[in-house]
């Protein structure tokens, strides 16, 4: 049985696993020492070493948030870790004696869904990760698209509304400022401030404080049929569909896969997304409408995708 090691490096945890043909055979996780670049490397190395049979495995794939160079060697910038032009692949390779490659974490998760998850069988797939922000990974004709610098698929920063909300990146009107978990919570809190009677259920769940409203609370209230929470999801879904329609005009994928915490809301997000997408999709009378599906691999996608890309 051929195995590869996959490592998923996040801002709060580092997870590693032995992977064979898309199946995690063994795994472990450790807290991320996010304040210290060298300590992060050592934790990655320790995770690899502690996996069973690690000594006999020669290839490692690492998924990390941020900008990763096209040669899969360096992390140019990471939003959660102290890495700037950091030679992560070489540092881990020197410490382990293994061949190491680095991928953007969203691209690794996208590759996992393409190879082993909900998008198996499709050749052109766009995966949109919807969490605090929006990220993505793009596979066209079976090839992961990295771009000239390695920074392709930073789709959360497509501008959808140039006079709208300011994004955390500093620009105005980015997709993730309208259709992420952060946007869902911002909208719900704003309504609670402006129309407390309309948002009564959300305020009840939040103990009376608009600023205490969370995404989980909005989801719970929407599942109960609360009109305010449903309106918040409808708004986020509208912008999600609008962004997907823009991507479809450029990429023409067979399948869109939505992944990440917000997607756990299921049809609360999918239904308005599909309605908006079908309304705004260009050339819809002449093309096969891309499917929009929810990812199936969950948190395992990062390890699985990193390992499979490390194998190549």
What string of pLDDT tens digits covers the 312 residues of the chain? 689 999 999 888 999 999 999 999 999 999 999 889 999 999 999 999 999 999 999 999 999 989 999 999 999 998 888 899 999 999 999 999 999 999 999 999 999 999 999 999 999 999 999 988 999 999 999 999 999 999 999 999 999 999 999 998 899 999 999 999 999 999 999 999 999 999 999 999 999 999 999 999 999 999 999 999 999 999 999 999 999 999 999 999 999 999 998 999 999 999 999 999 999 999 988 999 999 999 999 999 999 999 999 998
Distance CA 305, CA 254 (A): 20
pTM here? 0.93
122 in helix, strand or coil?
Answer: coil
The class level of CATH for 4-111+300-311 reads alpha beta
For residues 74 and 259, the answer to whether their CB atoms sit within 8 Å is: no
Could you please report the per-residue DSSP string of 46-83? HHHHHSTTGGG--EEEEEESSEE-TTS--EEE-SSSS-
Domain 121-295 has CATH 3.30.420.40: yes
Cα dihedral 153, 154, 155, 159 sign: negative
In sequence order, the 6+-apart residues with CB closer than 8 A to the CB of 218 are 184, 185, 188, 202, 229, 232, 233
**HSE-up (13 A, CA, CB side) for residue 31:** 4
CATH 3.30.420.40 residue ranges in the chain?
4-111+300-311, 121-295
Distance CA 137, CA 106 (A): 6
């Amino acid at each position: 049985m051929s195995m590869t090691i996959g490592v998923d490096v996040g801002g709060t945890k580092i997870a590693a696993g032995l992977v064979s043909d898309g199946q995690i055979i063994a795994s472990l996780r450790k807290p991320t020492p996010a304040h210290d670049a060298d300590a992060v490397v050592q934790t990655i190395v320790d995770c690899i070493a502690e996996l069973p049979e690690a000594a006999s495995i020669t290839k490692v794939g690492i998924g990390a948030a941020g900008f990763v160079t096209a040669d899969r060697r360096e992390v140019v910038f990471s939003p959660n870790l102290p890495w700037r032009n950091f030679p992560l692949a070489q540092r881990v390779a020197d410490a382990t004696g293994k061949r190491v490659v680095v991928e953007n974490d969203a691209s690794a998760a996208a590759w996992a869904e393409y190879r082993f998850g909900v998008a198996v069988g499709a050749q052109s797939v766009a995966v949109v990760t919807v969490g605090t922000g929006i990220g993505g990974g793009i596979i066209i004709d079976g090839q992961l698209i990295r771009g000239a610098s390695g920074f392709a698929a930073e789709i959360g920063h497509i501008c959808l509304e140039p006079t709208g909300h300011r994004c955390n990146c500093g620009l105005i009107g980015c997709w993730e400022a309208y259709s992420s978990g952060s946007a869902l919570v911002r909208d719900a809190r704003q309504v609670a401030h402006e129309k407390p009677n309309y948002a009564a259920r959300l305020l009840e769940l939040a103990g009376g404080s608009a600023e205490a409203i969370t995404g989980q609370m909005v989801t719970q209230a929407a599942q109960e049929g609360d009109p305010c929470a449903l309106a918040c999801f409808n708004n986020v879904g509208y912008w999600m569909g609008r962004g997907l329609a823009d991507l479809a005009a450029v990429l023409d994928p067979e399948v869109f896969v939505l992944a990440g915490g917000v997607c756990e809301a299921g049809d609360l997000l999918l239904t308005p997304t599909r309605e908006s997408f079908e309304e705004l999709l260009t050339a819809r009378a002449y093309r096969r409408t891309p499917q929009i599906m929810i990812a199936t691999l969950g948190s395992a996608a990062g390890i699985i995708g990193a390992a499979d890309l490390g194998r190549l």
